C-alpha cells in the first residue's frame, strides 16, 4: 500500500491543500508533502490525527477490497492428462470457491474414476460425443447438447459411450475434483 499516495488522494477528495491539512493536524506543510511523496513515514498517532482530519480512521484506511478476478484465459487453465481422461480446470484455485468447473475429454471407451459419495451436487453439459452418467448401479445416457444434474450422495462417474472422444463441462459444488 502506498500510504502517501492514499493520503494525498483523500486530501484532494476533501478539497484541502497540504497547508490546510497540516493546520488541522498541527503539522507543517513540508511534513505533509514528505508523507505524500513517501519521503517520511508517520507514527501511528500522527497517522490517526491525519485520518481524523480527513474524516477517516485506521481501520478504514488500511482496508483494501480485493479486486475480484472475473475472466480467465486458456493459459490460466490447469491441464492434467491421465489414462485417456484430459482434465482442464477452468478456474485456478477453484477449491476456495463454491463450485468448480472442469472441462473433461474422455477417449473412446474410457471412464473417469468412480467418485465416492460426498455432500454437494454436480452438473454437466455434453459438448461432444455421448456419455453415460453412472450413479450407483444405474447408467444414464447423455449426448451432445444435453445436460445432467445429480446429488453426489452415491458413487458416481462418467463413461464415454460413443465413437471418438467425448467432451463435457462438469461442475461440482462444493469443489471436489
Given a cut of 80, is residue 64 above it in pLDDT? no
Give me the pLDDT at residue 67, please: 76
Can you tell me which residue has the cell 452415491?
154
Given a cut of 80, is residue 95 above it in pLDDT? no
How many CB atoms within 10 Å of residue 59?
A: 8
pLDDT single digits (tens) 11-52: 999 999 999 999 999 999 999 999 999 999 999 999 999 999
Which of the two residues, 67 and 27, has the higher pLDDT score?
A: 27
Domain boundary assignment for the chain: 3-62, 74-173
Give me the pLDDT at residue 80, please: 94
Give me the pLDDT at residue 73, please: 92
Give me the pLDDT at residue 177, please: 66
* Residue 168 to residue 170: CA distance in whole angstroms: 6
pLDDT single digits (tens) 104-163: 999 999 999 999 999 999 999 999 999 999 999 999 999 999 999 999 999 999 999 999
Of the candidates 79, 81, 177, the one whose C-alpha atom is nearest the C-alpha of residue 123 is 177
Residues 71-100, mean pLDDT to the nearest whole number: 90
* Residue 70 to residue 120: CA distance in whole angstroms: 24
Question: Under CATH, which architecture does the 3-62 domain have?
Answer: Orthogonal Bundle (1.10)
Q: Which CATH number fits domain 74-173: 3.40.1280.10, 3.40.228.10, 2.60.120.10, 3.30.1060.10?
A: 2.60.120.10
Amino acid at each position: 500500500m502506498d500510504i502517501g499516495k492514499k493520503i494525498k488522494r483523500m486530501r484532494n477528495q476533501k478539497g484541502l491543500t497540504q497547508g490546510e491539512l497540516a493546520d488541522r493536524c498541527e503539522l507543517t506543510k513540508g511534513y505533509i508533502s514528505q508523507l505524500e511523496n513517501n519521503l517520511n513515514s508517520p507514527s501511528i498517532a500522527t497517522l490517526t490525527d491525519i485520518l481524523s482530519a480527513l474524516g477517516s480512521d485506521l481501520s478504514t484506511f488500511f482496508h483494501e477490497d480485493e479486486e475480484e478476478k472475473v475472466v480467465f484465459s486458456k493459459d490460466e487453465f490447469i491441464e492434467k492428462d491421465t489414462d485417456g481422461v484430459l482434465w482442464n480446470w477452468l478456474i485456478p484455485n477453484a477449491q476456495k470457491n463454491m463450485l468448480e468447473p472442469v472441462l473433461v475429454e474422455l477417449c473412446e471407451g474410457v471412464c473417469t474414476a468412480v467418485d465416492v459419495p460426498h455432500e454437494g451436487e454436480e452438473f454437466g453439459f455434453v459438448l461432444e460425443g455421448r456419455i453415460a452418467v453412472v450413479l450407483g448401479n444405474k447408467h444414464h445416457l447423455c449426448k451432445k447438447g444435453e445436460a445432467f444434474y445429480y446429488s453426489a450422495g452415491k458413487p458416481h462417474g462418467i463413461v464415454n459411450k460413443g465413437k471418438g472422444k467425448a467432451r463435457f463441462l462438469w461442475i461440482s459444488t462444493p469443489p471436489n475434483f
